[in-house]
């Protein structure tokens, strides 16, 4: 038998999305202010960067839901292009400190674009004859039956109790599941694999 149980969880938390927007806005604001004050040849670029940082921070604070849910991807792309532009300028002028800052920021924004796009896919717990495969956000991705003591589904909560006293719990959503049939299947798998457990008793 094979079970794919939909999980009511998110790959990424809203506050993480907000935090990176604020970090980007603050970085652009600070860099723009420094360029505007201390680098006259590109003072207009610094002013534009300063204004963009202020607008980004203002939108993140005042219009957070709109920014993170409706226009998040376009804003992320603008942030990435801006960060890469400053990184290129820093490389050309051999500004070592800005190179590090905007290299890290560009990498963080690029990763955020990938991760936030992937976050729209549903999360599942997959149960089959090999064991229990947990969602990508779990600290452990796969639990073989030899490590499982008991699997219980009650009130929409799936509990996987392992032989090392580790407990995994997930909220299951999306469809009705016969918990008795699921638990009976899991119990049969646990019993069938007990003989393969490593005995540490001396």
Mean residue pLDDT of the chain comes to 86
Q: Which residues contact 101 (CB under 8 A, 6 or more apart)?
A: 27, 31
> What pLDDT digit, counting tens, does each position of 128-139 carry?
888 899 876 667
Instruction: State the angle between helix axes of 14-38 and 43-62 in degrees (0 to 180), rounded to the nearest 10.
Output: 160
> What pLDDT digit, counting tens, does each position of 7-37 carry?
776 566 778 889 999 999 999 999 999 989 9
**d(C-alpha 86, C-alpha 57), whole Å:** 18
Could you tell me the pTM of the whole model?
0.61
């Amino acid at each position: 038998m094979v079970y794919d149980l939909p999980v009511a969880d998110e790959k990424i938390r809203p506050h993480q999305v907000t935090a990176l927007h604020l970090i980007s806005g603050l970085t652009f604001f600070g860099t723009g202010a420094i360029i505007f004050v201390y680098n006259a040849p590109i003072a207009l670029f610094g002013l534009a960067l300063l204004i963009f940082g202020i607008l980004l921070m203002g939108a993140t604070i005042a219009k957070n839901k709109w920014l993170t849910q409706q226009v998040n991807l376009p804003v992320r792309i603008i942030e990435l292009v801006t960060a890469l532009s400053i990184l290129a300028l820093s490389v050309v002028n051999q500004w070592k400190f800005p190179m590090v800052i905007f290299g890290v920021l560009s990498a963080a924004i690029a990763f955020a674009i990938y991760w936030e796009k992937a976050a729209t896919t549903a999360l599942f717990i997959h149960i089959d004859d090999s064991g229990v495969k947990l969602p990508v956000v779990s600290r452990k991705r796969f639990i073989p039956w030899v490590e499982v003591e008991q699997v219980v589904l009650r009130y929409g909560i799936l509990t996987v109790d392992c032989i090392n006293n580790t407990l995994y719990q997930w909220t299951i959503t999306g469809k009705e599941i016969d918990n008795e049939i699921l638990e009976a299947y899991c119990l049969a798998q646990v019993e069938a694999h007990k003989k393969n457990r490593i005995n540490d008793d001396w």
